Amino acid sequence: MRKTIVCVVGTRPEAIKMAPVILAIHNDGNFDVKVLATGQHADMLDSVLNFFNITPDTNLHVMKNCQGLEYITSSVLTLTSDYLKKVNPAAVLVHGDTTTTFAAALAAFYLKIPVGHVEAGLRSFTLSQPFPEELNRVLVDKFAKWAFAPTVLSKQNLIEEKFPVSNIVVTGNTVIDALLCAVQRIKKPEIDVFNRLSDDKPFVLLTAHRRESWGKPLEHICQAVAFLLENYSDLNFLVPMHKNPIVREVFYKYFTNEERVVLCEPLEYPDFVWAMKNSLFIMSDSGGVQEEVTAIKKPLLILRSVTERPEAIENGTGILTGTDEDKIIYFSRKLLDDKIYYDSVVAKCALMPFGDGTASQKIVEVLKESLCD
Ligand code: UD1
Ligand code: UDP
């Protein structure tokens, strides 16, 4: 009988990065793959799963408005444990660093079910940034059986923490697998919001949602955008807003009546890929976007003061600005005014530090080697 592997997803980025893994296990045919959606995100999770044609075996629907970390942790831990007791899988795969990731992995660990950590070994070495994600990924790597490290650097981080070397595999990041799949299907989205961006005027794509940026830091980002709007009369901004009301409140406060800022709902994944490809440059505090721009080759101002993805700066188009208004303005102006600088940022991206789109297949091979007779 085929063994069962449970893949857990809770939020938008987990779904994007776990989708190719789920599909690769399914297509390989050696395992019965079940998808457990915790529903930490509601709308934003469903949209991604629909795009990849993935139907969860179960959705725990834990999301509440403005949910606290203790609520997500305790509900995901308890409900995932109940689910795993029924399904009794041979392994559980979790992705990355969200509260779903940590709580679901812990549920598996308590039941002595081996855990595979996809995107293991990323470290900012600062527990407060990103918060609480840095703690989540460190904790999962304390008890995971397999570490699927996206880069050599993440493998090195794990070795330094004494993770058993034989169980670390450098796979590349599965986001590149997802991106290559989305790129084949992108087109200019036929939704009203894009009609407001005229073809001849450049736009900057902006996303921000991190917990440590709530409040003042997010206001500083908006103030930098306001300055740029005032000084560049042709410039537009496209801002797909995270669903979190705490984040939206700030964007609405600054830009509700600003014609050249398009505030919109989160974009479907292929629409967002179109927006990245067609933007002049990107400003974001997202983790996944730092990886994606290395393949899309667009400059990215990273709206964080530290990153667990230094590869995005060394071999990618990332520029670390934090949420400092002056720094955001300074680097935006360089990108807008200095073509040689802009081209030099893009040219740094000759290498693909996050892999070539074969990460999911490498993960399947490890699982087969470990679990199939
Ligand atoms: C979560 C992850 C973060 C990840 C991000 C991706 C944690 C602690 N944080 O942060 O690592 O980068 O997802 O986007 O795991 N909401 C909706 N509909 C949705 C999704 C969210 O209304 O589809 C609202 C709800 O009010 C919810 C709030 O957003 O309570 C915050 O969601 P939550 O998952 O707690 O935090 P994120 O900031 O999304
Ligand atoms: N993304 C999307 N629609 C949007 C904004 C982002 O599909 O409107 C994708 C983006 O391409 C990336 C992922 O969502 O793959 C990043 O998610 P997010 O920024 O929410 O989380 P993080 O990566 O910071 O954990």
The ligand whose atoms approach the alpha carbon of 273 most closely is: 2
The pLDDT value recorded for residue 90 is 98
Structure confidence by residue, pLDDT tens digits, 241-260: 999 999 999 999 999 999 89
pLDDT at 186: 84
- DSSP 3-state assignment of 96? coil
> Among all ligands shown, which has an atom nearest to the Cα of 218?
1
The distance in angstroms from the start CA to the end CA of the chain is 11
Could you tell me which residues come within 8 angstroms of residue 222 by beta carbon, excluding any fewer than 6 positions away? 250, 251, 253, 254, 255
Residue 229 near residue 261 (C-beta atoms within 8 A): yes
User: What are 345's two structure tokens?
Assistant: 């940022």
Which of these is catalytic: 41, 95, 209, 242? 209
Distance, CA of 138 to CA of 127 (rounded, Å): 9
Res. 16: pLDDT tops 80? yes
What is the reported pLDDT for 207? 98
- Residue-wise pLDDT tens digits, 143-160: 999 999 999 999 999 999
Q: Residue 198: pLDDT above 70?
A: no
Angle of the 359-371 helix axis to the 12-28 helix axis, nearest 10: 60
Q: What are the tens digits of pLDDT across the range 316-373?
A: 899 999 999 999 999 999 999 999 999 999 998 777 899 999 999 999 999 999 999 8
Atom 24 in ligand 2: residue holding the nearest Cα: 286
Q: Is the separation of the CB atoms in 8 and 30 below 8 Å? A: no
| Pocket of ligand 2 from Cβ distances under 6 Å | 12-13, 16, 175, 207, 209, 240, 266-267, 269, 272, 286-289, 292
Q: Crossing angle of helices 269-278/174-183, nearest 10°?
A: 80
Which pair of structure tokens corresponds to residue 243? 């669903």
pLDDT for residue 27: 97
What is the 41 CA–ligand 1 centroid distance (Å)? 6
Residue 60: predicted pLDDT: 98
**101-111: pLDDT as tens digits:** 999 999 999 99
Beta strands in 58-193 (DSSP E): 58-59, 91-95, 115-118, 146-149, 168-170
What spacing in Å lies between the alpha carbon of 40 and ligand 1's midpoint?
7
pLDDT of residue 350: 72
Tell me which residue has its CA closest to atom 13 in ligand 2. 13
Residue 173: half-sphere exposure toward Cβ, Cα within 13 Å: 29
Contact 328, 321 (CB under 8 A): yes
DSSP 190-225: -SHHHHTS-TTS-EEEEE---GGGTTHHHHHHHHHH
Q: Residues with Cβ < 8 Å from 63, sequence gap 6 or more?
A: 39, 40, 41, 42
**Mean pLDDT over all residues of the chain?**
95
Report how far ligand 2's centroid is from the alpha carbon of 165 (Å).
Answer: 31
pLDDT value at residue 315: 86
Which residues 6+ apart lie within 8 Å of 325 measured at CB? 220, 221, 223, 224, 227
The finding on whether 65 has its CB within 6 A of some atom of ligand 1 is yes
Residue 261, beta-bridge partner list: 237
Of the pLDDT bands very low, low, confident and very high (cuts 50, 70, 90), residue 4 is: very high
Per the annotation, the verdict on 95 as an active-site residue is no
**Higher model confidence: residue 348 or residue 300?**
300
Q: Which residue has the least CA distance to atom 2 on ligand 2?
A: 269
Interval between CA 209 and ligand 2 midpoint (Å):
10
Check if 40 has its Cβ closer than 6 Å to any atom of ligand 1. yes
Taking each helix axis as running N to C, give the angle between helix 269-278 and helix 43-51, from 0 to 180 degrees, rounded to the nearest 10.
90
Q: In what order do the strands lie in the sheet with 168-170?
A: 58-59, 31-37, 3-9, 91-95, 115-118, 146-149, 168-170
Residue 295: what pLDDT? 94
Q: Are strands 91-95 and 115-118 parallel, antiparallel or unpaired?
A: parallel
Q: Which of 33-37, 225-229, 261-265, 298-302 has the lowest mean pLDDT?
A: 261-265
Whether 244 lines ligand 1, by a CB cut-off of 6 Å, is: yes
> How do residues 280-290 score in pLDDT, each as one tens digit?
999 999 999 99
Distance 211 CA to ligand 2 centre (A): 15
Q: Which atom of ligand 1 is nearest to the CA of 40?
A: 34
**In which band, very low, low, confident or very high, does the pLDDT at 199 lie, cut at 50, 70 and 90?**
low
Question: pLDDT tier at 301 (50, 70, 90 boundaries)?
Answer: very high
